[in-house]
Amino acid sequence: MFRLTTSRIRELIRTISFSAITLFILTSCATPTQSIVTQIPVTPINTPTPTVQPSPTPIIPQVVFIADENDAHRINDPVRSTLISLTEQDGWRLEEMDFVPTELDINVVKVVVVIQPDPAISELSSTYPEIKFIAIGSENLERRDNLSLLGPDGFRQDQLAFLAGYLSAVLTFDWRIGAISDVPLETRPIIDNSFSNGMKFYCGLCLLSYPPFHTYPMDAFIGSEDPEQEWLVGADFMLSNSVDTVFFYAHEINLSVASLLTENDVLLLGVTSPPESLKSSWIATLKMSPELVLESRWDDVLNNDGGWVEPIPITLEDINTELLSEGKQRFFEKLLFDVLAGFVEPSAISP
């Protein structure tokens, strides 16, 4: 029977221990297993860069001004100046025309101001209800929500002549007054009658207190054939009939004739501002002033408040306070209010 001796056991233990140590060392020195990572190729995504679009040009609102081709009442310039001021303060643009167009751009045009007495404005305002229209001095038009009428009865020359006759009578002793005008032939009876009615409204029968006992007021009309000569004839007619105050219903003052009258102590008034050389003898200027209504009504226009109706104002300017006192001026302004309000009708006055 096989027996393990002590020495044999010791040798066996040493052998096992050595084998274990050797195995441990070999295991520790072995190269570790490395993981294999497979890389999947990634296709890059091209994100398009957004294109910067230019900002659209802002639309500038536009006011169209259709002027009076003849400008017989000399209101184109004051209306134009007022519209320039109003559009500039609002950042708008003014476009001027000399005719009534058939088409308008509703994206641009916001207001149309027309002086020409053209009936086409009624149809145009009906076609474009989005646009506000203001008709100045156009007769026989009917107001609508977008069509305002400034002077629906036209340019009341009778009112202006009536007021001039009244003011001349107020300031002239014995009411020895006269008028020189260059209005068209068909308008002359209106001017003559209205000027005379203005005088009668103040003095009634206007009976004279001393000779010469002429029938006043005197009137002279300037034609187109030889206006220079006719102005001189008119001035001579006034002087020979002892006229003390002359009303010029003419937008072009004949300076030589006016000077001849003032040299003979005749006082003057008219419808256009006088030159410096005439101011000492110039009582005042009577003007039609529709631009005043445009100024006062402009906010209404911007707020889409249309369809209003107003008379064309008549203003008293270039006042010579040495000839027209403050009291008489207030007296005149009371009548001016009544005339414009329709309480006094120039053609319906009798002494």
State the pLDDT at residue 1: 44
Check whether domain 157-288+321-348 has CATH 3.40.50.720, yes or no: no
What value does the mean pLDDT take over residues 120-128? 92
State the pLDDT at residue 265: 96
Of residues 29 and 290, more confidence is placed in 290
Burial category of 80 from C-beta neighbours within 10 Å (exposed 0-12, middle 13-18, buried 19 and up)? middle
- Which sequence spans correspond to the domains of the chain? 62-150, 157-288+321-348
pLDDT, one tens digit per residue, over 13-28 is 565 555 555 554 445 5
**Topology match between the domains 62-150 and 157-288+321-348:** yes
Predicted confidence (pLDDT) at residue 61 exceeds the cutoff of 50: yes
Which of 3.40.190.290, 3.60.15.10, 3.40.50.300, 3.40.50.2300 is the CATH number of 62-150?
3.40.50.2300
State the pLDDT at residue 118: 76
pTM, 2 dp: 0.80
